[in-house]
Structure 1
């Protein structure tokens, strides 16, 4: 993956429709996507040279997303607020330029609002994956 503009990483929320459509939730200035996998250690007394052994294909995978910025419009702000206060799982898309799109169910784990007297009001949020995620490589 060559160098890409950070502003092109997009976070979109699904409308829960059929077919589902996705809308960008805000002008996010910072965005982070973390993909994690826990390991299952199967090291035992007969492990060669005492080196750790891991079980392939085991463990729990998860994705965490965080972002901060401003909402694009009142509808986007209301959608996020409503999903948070209802503790709803919603489908989200994370578009990573030069990489692809990750899509699946996420729960809003954190929603913050902030503001300084001489600047615009801002928000930040954190999402946690809640099921299998689909990956579509860029250009597919």
Structure 2
């Protein structure tokens, strides 16, 4: 994959549950992390006492973080409502020239900050809440 513009990594949410996604706010920085826990099965007969792992047995999860400014009052209200109510919604993460990751996520952190001579900004964290799908670009 060739170098890509960071601004092209998009974060979208299905606000109605009907499969129609809207771009969330004006994210200036964002990241996606996918991980899988391991299940160790090392025993006294493991070759050379090297650790052994059980294939595909660990818990998989994804975390999305971002920061930026809200583009309008509607997006601000939507995200604030989801954070206060612990709402789980379907989200899309579009990685240019890679593909789209889609699935249920819950907002786990929402922080606001601002300087006296600048706009109010926010930081958001989402954690996966179910199976994710991937569609290649």
TM-score range for the pair, normalised by the shorter chain length: over 0.9
1:13 aligns with 2:39: no
- Whether the 8 Å contact between 1:95 and 1:102 is mirrored in structure 2 is yes
Where does structure 2 lack aligned partners over 5 or more consecutive residues? none
Partner of 1:53, secondary structure, is coil
Equivalenced residue count is: 137
Instruction: Kindly state the Cα deviation for residue 15 of structure 1 after the two structures are TM-superposed.
Output: 1.6
Cα RMSD (Å): 0.9
- What residue is the counterpart of 1:35 in the other structure? 34
- What residue is the counterpart of 1:54 in the other structure? 53
Kindly report structure 1 stretches of 4+ aligned residues shifted beyond 3 Å.
none
1:90-105 equivalences under 5 Å are 90-105=89-104
1:97-136 equivalences under 5 Å are 97-136=96-135
1:71 aligns with 2:70: yes
TM-score scaled by length of structure 2: 0.96
Where does structure 1 lack aligned partners over 5 or more consecutive residues? none
TM-score scaled by length of structure 1: 0.94
Q: Structure 1 or 2: larger strand share?
A: 2
Describe the superposition over 1:99-133 as per-residue Cα deviations: whole angstroms up to 9, x where unpaired: 11111111100001111111111111000000100
Instruction: Kindly state the Cα deviation for residue 16 of structure 1 after the two structures are TM-superposed.
Output: 2.9
